[in-house]
Amino acid sequence: MGKSVKFPFVNRELSWLNFNERVLQESEDTSVPLLERLRFLGIFSNNLDEFFRVRVATIKRMAAIDNKLKGLDINPNELLKQINQKTIELQGRFEKNYQIINKALKSEGIHIIDHFNLLPEHISSINDYFEEKVLPTLVPIMLKEGNFPKLSGNAIYFAIKLSTSKKKTDYAIMEIPSMVVPRFIVLPAVNNQKYVILLDDIIRYKLHDIFKIFDYKKIEAYTIKVTLDAELDIDDDISKSNIDILTKGLKLRKTASPVRFIYDKAIPKDLLDYILKNAEPSESDSIIAAGKYHNFKDFIGFPNVGTKKLRFKELPPLEHPVLNKNISILNSISKNDVLLNYPYQSFNYIINLLREAAIDPNVTSIKINLYRVAKNSKIIHALINAVKNNKKVTVIVELRARFDEQANINWANKLQDQGVKVIFGIPGLKVHAKLILINRKEGKKTVKYGHVGTGNFHENNASIYTDTSLLTSHPGITNEISKIFRLFKNTYERPTFKHLIVSPFNARRRIGTLIDNEIKNAKEGREAYIIIKLNNLVDDTVIKKLYKASSNGVKIQLIVRGICSLVPGVKGISENIEVISIVDRFLEHNRLFVFCNNGNELYYLASADWMSRNLDLRIEVACPIYDEKLQKEIKDILNFQLTDNCKARLVNTKNNNSYRVTDSIKKVRSQEAIYAYLKGQLA
Query: Under DSSP, is residue 624 helix (H, G, I), strand (E, B) or coil?
Result: strand
Residue type, 36: E
Distance CA 365, CA 387 (A): 9
Residue type, 55: R
For residue 671, what is the DSSP state? H
* Strand order through the sheet with 184-190: 110-113, 193-198, 184-190
Query: Pairing state of beta strands 555-560 and 577-582?
Result: parallel
Nearest to 639 by CA among 598, 666, 597, 670: 670
Distance CA 531, CA 557 (A): 5
Question: Are the C-beta atoms of 459 and 320 separated by less than 8 Å?
Answer: no
Question: Are the C-beta atoms of 405 and 232 separated by less than 8 Å?
Answer: yes
Compute and round to an integer the Cα radius of gyration of the chain. 27
Helices 76-107/57-64 angle, 10° precision: 160
Mark out the alpha helices in 162-268 (DSSP H runs).
Answer: 199-205, 207-210, 242-254
Distance CA 352, CA 367 (A): 15
Query: Under DSSP, is residue 259 helix (H, G, I), strand (E, B) or coil?
Result: strand
* Strand order through the sheet with 141-142: 141-142, 169-176, 156-163, 218-228, 258-264, 286-290
- Give the burial class of 586: count Cβ atoms within 10 A of its Cβ; 0-12 exposed, 13-18 middle, 19 or more buried: buried
Query: Pairing state of beta strands 618-624 and 430-431?
Result: parallel
Residue type, 205: Y
Residue 122 annotated to the active site: no
- CB contact set of 247 (below 8 Å; sequence gap of 6+): 409
Q: Which of 122, 432, 451, 474 is catalytic?
A: 432
Nearest to 262 by CA among 293, 289, 296, 281: 289
Distance CA 569, CA 557 (A): 12
Question: Are the C-beta atoms of 439 and 475 separated by less than 8 Å?
Answer: no
Distance CA 267, CA 326 (A): 63
Distance CA 371, CA 403 (A): 11
Residues forming the active site: 432
